[in-house]
Structure formats: C-alpha cells, structure tokens
Amino acid sequence: MGNMKMQTQKAARGFTLLELMVSMAVGLIAMAAMAMLFKSGMNATMMVTQRIDTQENMRAGMDLMVKDISLAGAGLPSGGIQLPYGVGNNGISKYACDQTGTCHVPNNTYPTGPTFSNYMYGIIPGYQDGVENNAVIPAAPAPAFSDSITVVYCDLNFPLWQYNVNFVAGTKGGQATLTPQAGYTPPSITSNGGLNQGDIIMISGGSTTAVGEITTYSASSGSPGATGSLTFANADPLNINQSGAASGNLNALATSLAGGAGVAYRLFVITYYLTVPAAGQTPRLMRQVNGLTPAPVADDIINLQFAFDNFNSATGALDANQPNPLGSAESPNNIQKVNIFMMGESTINNQKNSQNLYLATDVSASNMAYRDPY
C-alpha cells in the first residue's frame, strides 16, 4: 500500500463576536449622531419657520393698526366732539358695538369726567380693557392683561362732503336729505364704498358740530349725483342719536341751522382688541369699525398693550409711557405718541411646541396735539 496523505482544511478567517459587537456599537453611535444632527437641523428649520410666520402674522395686524393710529383725530374739530348730554339724555354713547347690540370690549362707553361727559376724542385708551368678555388667554405673560385702543378720524375717500345736508322739519334731527352741491357729481351713497347701516356721520354747520349713527338710508338711484336720505332714529345700537337730549345731538344742530344746509363726513371709529373664539381656537386681533361687524386682522395674538406720551399742560412737560392717561386725569387730546407692544404665538406648532415673539413700535399722533414738546 502506498502512503496516504490526509488533507487538512484551513479554517475561514472572519470576525469574532467581540469585533461584531464593537462594530455595531460604533455604527449605532454614528447613526445616532447623524439622527441628532438631522433632528437639530429640522428643529432649527422649524424655529426659523415659526419665527417668520409669527412675525409676518403680527406685522400684518401691526401695519394696519399703525395706519389707523397715525390718522387719529384727522378732520375732527380741535379737541374732539361733544356727544349728547344734559337734560333728557339717555346715558353715555357706545363704541365697539355692532348692529346686533353686541359690544366687544368690556368698557364700551365714551369717557366722562369732572369737566366733560360723553366725549369723542381722536384717541380713546382702553387700559386693561383689551379682551372681549374678559376672557383668559393662558399663553399671555404675567401679569396677563391686554389693552384696547379706539381711534377716530374722518373718511376722506368717500366724498360725502360734496352733498348738502338738510334736516327734515319736525324730525328733531332724525332725518336728513342729501343733495349734491353745485359743481359736484358725487357717487351715490349706495355705491361700492358708500354708506352702511351703523356708520357714524359727523355733520357741521356754522359753529356747531354733531354726530349721528345711520339707522337707515336710501338713494334715488345708484348713479353718481343721485339724491339721498339718512335716518338717525333713537335707540340706535351705539346710543348716539338721542334726539331728546338738550345738547350735543343732531337735534341741537338742526335747530342752530334753522333750515340751512350742513356738511357731512363719515367718521371711522375703530377699536382694536383681542378675542378668544369658541371651539378652542387661538386668540386673534380684531378690528371693529363704527357699528359694523368686527373683522379679524391677525391670528395667535396673545397680548396687546399701549403706552402714551402725553403733553402735560399743567407742568408744560412730556409725560412719557403713560399706560392709562384717563386714569391719571390727563386728556387724550394731548397724546403726542402711541407706543405699541404686541406678543404673538407661532401658528405652526412643532410637536406641540410653539414660540412667543414680541413686536414693538411707536406712532406719532400728528393730528392730536399741536404743541411740540420734543
């Protein structure tokens, strides 16, 4: 027999269990680091998106508010307008209320005081009076209160002043006719951009000015140059007409005109405030004009505050950053500047996380006080 050689088989070389475990651990660490880096990038992207969205949302409301405040007092008689008062008056007139009788800020009557009663200023501060129904806004910073602000100015876009206004005899200022003045062909009061039920009309004649709320109106046609009529009935939602009051109403103006014609302007009485809608919706900034239905102008606004720079006529100095001029016995007629502070909450949530941002600005009330203390 020949020699038989047994062949030996070499073992295949591989990874040991320890090496596999170390490799897997290193791989998991690398994957975790990549996941954390990715999550960090996504969070940063979401943060930027939230801030941009919140800023754009707040600026939309802020820009509109700044425009209205900058016009406060424009076209009004110097110092504002006296509303109905004296014997026969039926209480203080209202603002921030609509035609359903709903008033949208807790304190909704015009200011009264030792030397004035039921008075319409170009700016009416609403200190700690800025949330409808005194609703609680949980996300608002402590102390959790908001302000409202009401501004008044003439609407110069619709040329109501191109009509002669004559009060109908025997109606105690409750009805007036509109006839185009010579040389003018004004748009019909029923045209687009024309009058609405609940609009506030300022009528002047001689040295007297009075204000009324339109309860009904009509025009002979919808064409330019059409004649029209306005009714200012008592028991109007804003309690402005009050034909039985001794002074400060359209009846007193009609008496002083003695059949002569007056000139009319539509006023914008605009209130900004916050509301908390039902069904768990987030707070929003509202804009309410005259006696009309309020409209939202910005969502997720959780805080709104104002401070006023007032010229103090007693000391001849500027009282800066007054949150409550009426409470300090300072006249709103002397407001020089309005400082606005708004806080918004991001409308985009990241796993129920949101951001709050402040936006602040100031507006010169150039139509209010005519003295320059700066």
Domain-embedded: residue 16: no
Domain-embedded: residue 12: no
Count other C-beta atoms under 10 Å from residue 277's C-beta. 14
Residue 311 belongs to domain spanning: 61-364
**Separation between Cα atoms, residue 64 and residue 347, nearest integer Å:** 20
Out of 28-37, 53-62, 74-83, 312-321, the most confident range is 74-83
* More confident position, 221 or 20: 221
For residues 327-346, give the mean pLDDT: 89
Domain-embedded: residue 48: no
Q: Are 268 and 155 in contact (CB under 8 A)?
A: yes
State yes or no: pLDDT of 205 exceeds 80. Answer: yes
pTM: 0.85
State yes or no: pLDDT of 41 exceeds 70. Answer: no
The model's confidence at residue 374, banded by pLDDT at 50, 70 and 90, is very low
Domain count, the chain: 1
| Pairing status of strand 301-312 against strand 317-322 | antiparallel
Predicted confidence at residue 49, as pLDDT, reads 55
State yes or no: pLDDT of 132 exceeds 50. Answer: yes
**Least reliable range by pLDDT among 61-65, 121-125, 140-144, 237-241:** 140-144
Predicted confidence at residue 159, as pLDDT, reads 96
The string of DSSP codes covering 34-72 is HHHHHHHHHHHHHHHHHHHHHHHHHHHHHHHHHHHHHTT
What pLDDT, in 10s, does the model give residues 140-184?
887 779 999 999 999 999 999 999 999 999 999 999 999 999 999
